[in-house]
Structure 1
């Protein structure tokens, strides 16, 4: 292991449970901008600011302050990444899907939106959601493909989402390959069926029927 001094200021290291010191995540995020592509910088910012059942690792203010203190890189890529970052994201593939949809000219979806029944009870948390059009795109990594119980639970959840009048759009890994054209087409088709048109934010009344 060879150490490198990257900046002339006091170190801000954290200790892992095994006692190994590591760079503070906020500083490490800025340093990765020398190598990582834009989408990975957005995904990592999403990860740092999101609450996954515990306190977020960092805040947007802390990430912005680090860029202000040490400078941006590669044409302002870090500030651009912060503009596109969102809290509450659960996975890098979810980040990529969201960016693909928005960059293709589709509306920006809500993140981890709670779907409720006619009584107001929460019945499902949707990774990405278009409440106006009742369209729910979700990336399905099939991490539980070999778990029959988990698959059955997921299938029941999909049926419940559809029973409440939503178009549940499952995005699989092969839909995301290359430029993600297949994923974008599936979501665009669902939005179009629901009444969405480019440049026309027609509101479709919510219905629980």
Structure 2
């Protein structure tokens, strides 16, 4: 919230966390700095935190994606650039946006991106499966379309 409202700057938080390394509260500050990237929903942040806490690399957040001709094809909730892996959180309004989401998914896949979709139920009740699927996708070589 503080980042989204402009009160806190993620880069400044990271710099301060590095400068206070080893001091009381520095672990919390490091955690806060990790979570300060501008996710569009609390569940996207939970998904990202689950992945980080499970030892996976930090995904990029809210990244615009383009095809080979530099046309915009979508925005990733979370993105692993080296694996061209897009992670999407499908929130409660997903049913109303299903057609739009399906069209965007087709554009992403045709542009050579890989895509995994997760829901709140996945994050809360199948966290191990979520982590295993992401870990597996990250370990697979990129398949070119």
> For 2:30 and 2:131, how far apart are their aligned partners in 1?
22
Gaps of 5+ in 2: 14-23
- Note if contact 2:43-2:120 (Cα within 8 Å) is conserved in structure 1: no
- Note if contact 2:35-2:49 (Cα within 8 Å) is conserved in structure 1: no
In the TM superposition, what is the alpha-carbon distance from 1:192 to its structure 2 partner?
A: 1.8
- Note if contact 1:60-1:82 (Cα within 8 Å) is conserved in structure 2: no
In the TM superposition, what is the alpha-carbon distance from 1:80 to its structure 2 partner?
A: 3.8
> For 1:102 and 1:168, how far apart are their aligned partners in 2?
18
* Matched residue, 2:16: none
> For 2:94 and 2:87, how far apart are their aligned partners in 1?
19
Map Cα deviations across residues 161-183 of structure 1 (whole Å, 9 max, x no partner). Answer: 11111110001222111572121
The structure with more radius of gyration: 1
1:88 aligns with 2:38: yes
User: Greater RCO between the two (CA within 8 Å, min separation 6)?
Assistant: 2
1:81-160 equivalences in 2 (<5 Å)? 81-145=31-95, 147=96, 150-160=97-107
Aligned CA RMSD, in angstroms, stands at 2.5
1:22-33 equivalences in 2 (<5 Å)? none
Q: Classify the secondary structure of the residue corresponding to 1:111.
A: strand
- Note if contact 2:38-2:61 (Cα within 8 Å) is conserved in structure 1: yes
Within the candidate set 29, 45, 48, 2:2 is matched to: 48
Distance 1:81 1:102, change over 3 A: closer
1:163 aligns with 2:110: yes
Q: TM-score, length-normalised on structure 1?
A: 0.56
Question: After TM superposition, which residue ranges in structure 1, 4 or more long, deviate above 3 angstroms?
Answer: none
1:183 aligns with 2:125: no
- Larger fraction in helix: 2
Q: TM-score, length-normalised on structure 2?
A: 0.78
